[in-house]
Amino acid sequence: MAKQLRNIVVTGKSGAGKQPRIDVLCEVFGLTQLSTGNIFREYLGAYAKVREGVDAQAFYQGDGFAPDADIQAVLAPACAAAGVAPGAAVLGLKAARYVDGGVFVPDDITNELLASAFHAADGAGLVLDGYPRTPDQSRFLLALVEQAGTPLDLILLVDNEDEAIVARTTGRRICPNKACAKVFHVQYKPARDGRFCTACGAEVVQRSDDTEAKIRTRLAEFQNKALPGVRVLQDAGIPMVTVEGNLPVFTDEAVRASVMEALAPVLEA
């Protein structure tokens, strides 16, 4: 095996096909996926276990949050009872303020959550997914890895045309039965009679996030925020390789081959 990779950022438009590439990186290099979606779920979950019955007023000062120590003191008894780390509950509380309100989580909160999860994972052997998504997050990440004395080896960009993503995503239908959750596509993988799950028979639905308007908003976000963030990493000397999101033949072997081919120059360097 050539050079060992320790930390990788995987980026690309929402719906570009990042997950199959992440799977390859985790398998070949023994890395662990650290995705912002999972990080948020974890910390929100920690706070959810202790929020019942606590007086939220104590958490705020003016427009901002009270000092962490003050918040922890209020949450401490509930944390002890529920077996939740107080630090995790505080982070979850901060995220919940925005997520509950359905508003954009500010970079400083996202950065705090990411840093906590990064350190919990020993700061190495990670595939970052969904982060960084802004130039500020990229600058924070560069400082974080420098402080941890760990490398950021490369950026893997999964490239896909906007129109291909729109067609693929708007055509997606899912089985609403949570135990099944089979995924279909109106054109490429139709449900039975175009309506029913082939596994459990439930009537398939379109996810509320899969409408064209929402996809176009996510595509614009990538263009206007995430890509400039990627450029911050490149300017700091992190190499970037690109793989095609659409392959002529989409098999596990083809995905793996295209990732390894793209990585070859970096692995040999």
Instruction: Give the SS3 label for residue 178.
Output: coil
| Cβ at position 221, least distance to Zn ion in Å | 31
What track of x and - describes contact with Zn ion for positions 199 through 218 (by CB under 5 A)?
A: xx-x----------------
| Cβ at position 17, least distance to Zn ion in Å | 23
| Cβ at position 177, least distance to Zn ion in Å | 5
Judged by CB under 5 A, the stretch of 5-13, 83-91, 157-165, 198-206 that binds Zn ion is 198-206
Q: Report which of 195, 190, 215 is spatially closest to residue 205, judged by C-alpha positions.
A: 195
Q: What is the DSSP letter of 49?
A: T
Please identify which residue in the block is written with the tokens 């379109």: 206
Using rule CB under 5 A, residue 85 touches Zn ion:
no
| Cβ at position 107, least distance to Zn ion in Å | 38
Using rule CB under 5 A, residue 240 touches Zn ion:
no
Instruction: Give the SS3 label for residue 215.
Output: helix
> Judged by CB under 5 A, which of 72, 150, 177, 246 binds Zn ion?
177
Nearer to Zn ion, 167 or 174 (CB): 174
How far apart (Å, rounded) are the C-alpha atoms in residues 175 and 191? 9
Q: Report which of 230, 223, 48, 211 is spatially closest to residue 138, judged by C-alpha positions.
A: 230
Helix (H) or strand (E) holding 241: strand 240-244
- Which residue ranges make up the site for Zn ion (CB under 5 A)? 175, 177, 180, 182, 197, 199-200, 202
